[in-house]
Amino acid sequence: MSPRILTRESWGANESMGIKINSENSVEERAENHNHSNSSSVSEKEKKCLEMRRIAPEDFEVRMINTQDKLGNDLIWPRRYSKKVKVIVVHHTGEKETPKSNSLSGIEKVRAIYKGHTQTNGWGDIGYHYLVDKDGKIYEGRAGGDNVVGAHVYCANVGTISVAMIGNFQRRYPSEKQLSSLRWLLIELTNKYRIRPSGKTVFRGERISTIVTHRDLAATQCAGRNVQRLMNSIRTTVAQRDYEKSILPKDKASSRISRRGTGKKTYEREIPRRVRDKVQNYLKKYGKPKR
Ligand SMILES: [Zn+2]
């Protein structure tokens, strides 16, 4: 069964959040003005970015800018469109995982991230193009369709498409379902944008993989240590168009255990293979226990 992408409408994106209600300069204009401010206040990061723009101006080329949505409303953040998409960037959402945050459904998390990016950060929309939750559900992120520029990595928003795995993968691994949907989506996207999944490309003057993590492009932990470890097998199975092969290393198949009695407390733990095999044998024999 192939997953499908839940549209903004179906997860309940409040589109009015992205619309300008007064004549305040857009975030985009402010960012541009900032870029042109006097060079003595430019940070190392900005210097590096300016240098990349100088070396590879074609990787920053935008073919179209829409300042209004379909209904003619002025957008807070005008929609820009990359001339060419070369790279897909994998992120994690990286929030601290607490019993409370673990109790939220995927859709609730997506709505919260949308609100955070759109209103709290003032970006006018969600930064990521797609999000994948722990059950493997895929959500449409940024509005605007193919080639629309997101807001997910400094100095590399043009020319890239982003996929965010909901969760924090510094310590634990994503579920196989989540990884499998990520792979399905990466296969779709590499087809759509004619990207060679296991290949390299020259982007901003550097030779890099066509599917990378945020950390490969910037100083950040995103998409988490454990996703970083899986990137090679992700790229390989995407290249092979293999929808079935397990991505997690065998001993890393993790599961959410709920502690009986406390009712609330859940935590992530790796199950020893011996125990997992026993459980799987049981399930094979007797099926899932009824609740
Ligand atoms: Zn990131």
d(CA 135, CA 164): 14
Contact 234, 183 (CB under 8 A): yes
Q: What is the mean pLDDT of residues 17-21?
A: 87
254 or 114: which leads in pLDDT: 114
SS (H, E, C) 26-73: CHHHHHHHHHCCCHHHCCHHHHHHHHHHHHCHHHHCEEEEEEECCCCC
Lookup result for tokens 């309940």: 12
Alpha helices in the chain (DSSP H): 8-11, 27-35, 44-55, 99-102, 106-115, 176-192, 214-217, 225-239, 273-286
- 91 CA → ligand 1 middle, Å: 4
- 223 CA → ligand 1 middle, Å: 6
pLDDT at residue 155 in the model: 96
For residue range 75-90, what is the model confidence (pLDDT) as tens digits? 999 999 999 999 999 9
Q: What is the mean pLDDT of residues 194-198?
A: 96
- 135 CA → ligand 1 middle, Å: 20
Q: Which residues have C-beta within 8 Å of that of residue 214, sequence separation ≥ 6?
A: 89, 90, 91, 152, 153, 220, 222, 223
Q: What is the mean pLDDT of residues 245-274?
A: 61
pLDDT at residue 230 in the model: 97
- 273 CA → ligand 1 middle, Å: 32
44 or 266: which leads in pLDDT: 44
- 231 CA → ligand 1 middle, Å: 15
d(CA 164, CA 182): 9
d(CA 1, CA 254): 22
d(CA 128, CA 149): 9
Number of C-beta neighbours around residue 18 at 10 A: 23
- 14 CA → ligand 1 middle, Å: 23
Burial class (CB in 10 A: 0-12, 13-18, 19+), 144: middle
Q: Taking all residues of the chain, what is their mean pLDDT, rounded to a whole number?
A: 87
pLDDT at residue 290 in the model: 62
d(CA 203, CA 200): 9
- 153 CA → ligand 1 middle, Å: 7
Q: What is the mean pLDDT of residues 236-264?
A: 73
Q: In angstroms, how far apart are the furthest CA atoms of the chain?
A: 71
Q: Tell me which amino acid residue 278 is.
A: K
Structure tokens at 275: 């125990």
Q: What is the mean pLDDT of residues 61-82?
A: 94
Q: What is the mean pLDDT of residues 221-226?
A: 97
- 168 CA → ligand 1 middle, Å: 11
Indicate the pairing of strand 160-165 with strand 87-92: parallel
Domains in the chain, ordered, with CATH?
5-239 (3.40.80.10), 253-286 (no CATH)
pLDDT at residue 289 in the model: 66
pLDDT > 90: what percent of the chain?
73
Coil vs helix vs strand at 120: helix
pLDDT at 103 over 70: yes
pLDDT at residue 270 in the model: 57
- 218 CA → ligand 1 middle, Å: 9
pTM above 0.85?
A: no
- 152 CA → ligand 1 middle, Å: 6
For residue range 150-176, what is the model confidence (pLDDT) as tens digits? 999 999 999 999 999 999 999 999 999
Q: Compute the Cα dihedral for 238, 239, 244, 246 and give only its sign.
A: negative
- 24 CA → ligand 1 middle, Å: 28
Contact 77, 117 (CB under 8 A): no
Q: Which residues have C-beta within 8 Å of that of residue 263, sequence separation ≥ 6?
A: none
Whole-number Cα distances in Å, 69 to 60, 75, 76:
23, 6, 10
- 132 CA → ligand 1 middle, Å: 14
In the structure, what pLDDT confidence band is assigned to residue 190 with cuts at 50, 70 and 90?
very high
pLDDT at 248 over 90: yes
pLDDT at 38 over 60: no
pLDDT at 31 over 90: no
